[in-house]
């Protein structure tokens, strides 16, 4: 694999990961907090409707988990393509 091919494959893998992260972020923040809130509100979590909980706290927990998941997966991609920091 040439350097140019390696760079293109690295960029492609990075964009795929970024797309996954952004889709999860959009579904959780916009979907669970706004679009599906009325359906989720029939479920209670800690005495609060689940739609409200996602809009206020749940999305933050998901975002924090996404940060750690993204960092790990990006490190894996870096190692796979020889781009890791020493």
Report the largest interatomic distance among the alpha carbons of the chain, rounded to a whole angstrom: 58
The CA distance from 73 to 79, in Å, is 10
Which range of residues forms the domain containing residue 10? Answer: 3-80
Average pLDDT of span 45-64: 85
pLDDT tens-place string over residues 68-81: 999 999 999 999 99
Provide the sign of the torsion angle of the four alpha carbons 27, 30, 33, 63, taken in this order.
positive
What's the pTM? 0.79
Is 86 inside a domain boundary?
no
Check whether 55 has a pLDDT greater than 90: no
Tell me how many degrees the CA angle 45-51-53 measures, rounded to the nearest 5: 50
Domain count, the chain: 1
Check whether 86 has a pLDDT greater than 70: no
Is 85 inside a domain boundary?
no
pLDDT tens-place string over residues 12-44: 999 999 999 999 998 888 888 788 888 888 988
């Amino acid at each position: 694999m040439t350097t140019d091919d390696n760079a293109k494959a690295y960029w492609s893998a990075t964009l795929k990961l970024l797309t996954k992260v952004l889709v999860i972020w959009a579904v959780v923040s916009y979907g669970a907090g706004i679009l599906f809130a009325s359906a989720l509100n029939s479920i209670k979590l800690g005495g609060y409707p689940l739609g409200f909980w996602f809009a206020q706290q749940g999305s933050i927990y998901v975002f924090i988990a996404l940060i750690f998941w993204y960092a790990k997966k990006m490190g894996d991609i870096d190692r796979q393509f020889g781009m890791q920091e020493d």
